[in-house]
Amino acid sequence: MTGEIVAPQRALTLTFRVGADTKRDLVTSLLHFAQQIERDELGTGTFGGPGAGGSYELVTIDKPHEEYFRELHAYLDARRAAQEAASGERSRD
């Protein structure tokens, strides 16, 4: 198999990087973001305050649950086949 095998994405993907001064500040940031996601108030941006700051991006794609799992099974099958092919090539060397 040639080319990169890319893992499927779910309907929602959150990339979130946060730095905090204390565990409490971290928990407060996480709870705040959970509320924003629930209210559909989150997209892409940065934030900062006295105890925490960071960046985030919420990507939403129209993908049914079943479609994700079809793609996941195909991805895992392709990875398995690529690993088997690579181990077969190594054993011939």
Q: Is the dihedral of CA 27, 16, 55, 58 positive or negative?
A: negative
Neighbours of 29 (CB within 10 A): 21
Alpha-carbon distance of 63 to 8, in angstroms, equals 10
Q: Is the pLDDT of residue 8 over 60?
A: yes
What average pLDDT is seen over the chain? Answer: 91
- Averaged pLDDT for residues 59-81: 96
Return the domain boundaries, the chain. 9-61, 63-93
Q: What is the mean pLDDT of residues 19-38?
A: 95
Alpha-carbon distance 59 to 11, whole Å? 8
Tell me the percentage of the chain whose pLDDT exceeds 90.
83
Of the pLDDT bands very low, low, confident and very high (cuts 50, 70, 90), residue 1 is: very low
- Closest by CA to 63, choosing from 25, 12, 21, 29, is 12
